[in-house]
Amino acid sequence: MALSTLLASVLCTIVLPVLLFLVAVKLWEVYMIRGGDPSCPSPLPPGSMGLPFIGETLQLILQRRRFLRMKREKYGYIYRTHLFGNPTVRVSGAENIRQILLGEHKLVSAQWPSSVRTILGSDTLSNMHGSQHKSKKKAIMRAFSREALELYIPVIQEEVQAAVKRWLVQDPCVLVYPEMKRLMFRIAMRILLGFEPEQIRTDEQQLVEAFEEMIKNLFSLPIDVPFSGLYRGLRARNFIHSKIEENIKKKVEESDKGLKHRDALQQLIDSSKKNGEPFSMQAIKESATELLFGGHETTASTATSLIMFLGLNPEIVHKLRQELWDKGENGMDYQNLNIESLEQLKYTGCVIKETLRINPPVPGGFRVALKTFQLNGYQIPKGWNVIYSICDTHDVAEIFPNKDNFQPERFMTKPSADSSRFQYIPFGGGSIEDLLGRSGN
């Protein structure tokens, strides 16, 4: 009697909940598969939808690139999953990405995950479409014109030189990624948002910590409750907004007095006035935060990867030094660089391109299907998210032999535009990613 009672207890407390959980997962999978378009003859892509409601978001956050590679090896270049609260099709491979990017505004439209849209805000370039998108992008791109970039070079040199001097007096071991994030954050605050050095010094630690917290929680489950990722991201965002608002008010005041700045934030303020739009402090703050996100994180990531690859390949360091020495011997003034002199550093440019090939700073592009369409024999249902993978596409690109080797020389010969356009896309290929590429470079 006692044994049967014990078995019944075990069944109720352990076995039954496990069985119910497995049934719930199976029902979730069946329900999501039925979310396909029955009018389309093609099947849904292979894959799994993970746990109910949270899908496979946690696996992606914890395993990152390893998770993506495992999924690609198991399911191929197109597979379904459930990420950040939405059914999603993940796509890689040049030909598949070509169809996605050329189908912009016809098959798909740019759309970041809900958590990103909530934290960055509704008035950002990534959340706009049509004429609004074109107008705002035009204003922002003025801050990345050749003329504007020339003005940024002295500021960048000043910050880099100060950082290197600081590193030289520190311990022999420098933690590259934290230092790069701090350096790129200072540069972005100055050339994108027009902060003065003394402003940054006063609030630097708090701003860096808040920005780190915001970035860490950008891609999170769309649940705004205390202590959730979205809640922490929004709280950090609000602190950053408060500091940006102080700077906007200062710029507007100085602009009324006839003083002009040439940073991206000033361009947004001027554009708002020229278009006769009512001045929206919230819209300017959101656009400024988006610029900071696009211009800081990608550059810090790339700079860290670059140093890692140089440390692993001393022969590349020797070639870089030789190019810099040769150009210096030929009269290049490294104390007063300009765009023309930087463009002469061909091998240096190839080293950067190879870094971006192996470790692209932007993992992928986010889209939503505007209508059900077919891609390589599979249906992509209307309303599903579509993520095209940059890192996976680089991994399988046919134009790059010996893909695992760091070989900058592969970029010394420029491939044809048709063969490389969708096989090498370190910043993506859509309107939003183009902006990230400009600000990141």
Would you say residue 417 has pLDDT above 80? Answer: no
In a domain, 353, yes or no: yes
Determine the structural domain holding residue 427 and report its residue range.
Answer: 119-440
| pLDDT class of 432 with cuts at 50, 70, 90 | very low
pTM attached to this predicted model: 0.82
CATH number of 377's domain: 1.10.630.10
Instruction: Tell me how far apart the alpha carbons of residues 268 and 65 are, in angstroms, rounded to a whole number.
Output: 35
The count of structural domains within the chain is 1
Instruction: Tell me how far apart the alpha carbons of residues 298 and 223 are, in angstroms, rounded to a whole number.
Output: 26
In a domain, 170, yes or no: yes
In a domain, 49, yes or no: no
Q: How do residues 97-136 score in pLDDT, each as one tens digit?
A: 999 999 888 999 888 888 888 888 877 777 766 667 677 7
In a domain, 375, yes or no: yes
Q: How do residues 229-276 score in pLDDT, each as one tens digit?
A: 899 999 999 999 998 898 888 888 877 766 666 777 887 777 777 666
In a domain, 282, yes or no: yes
Q: How do residues 339-398 score in pLDDT, each as one tens digit?
A: 888 889 999 999 999 999 999 988 888 899 999 999 999 999 999 999 999 988 998 888
In a domain, 57, yes or no: no
Instruction: Tell me how far apart the alpha carbons of residues 379 and 42 are, in angstroms, rounded to a whole number.
Output: 5
In a domain, 101, yes or no: no
Q: Could you give the dihedral angle defined by the CA atoms of residues 60, 226, 384 and 55, in that order, rounded to the nearest 10 degrees?
A: 40
Label residues 256-266 b or e (16+ Cβ within 10 Å = b). Answer: eeeeebebbbb
The three-class DSSP label of residue 389 is: strand
Q: Which residues make Cβ contacts (< 8 Å) with residue 150, sequence separation at least 6?
A: 338, 339
In a domain, 179, yes or no: yes
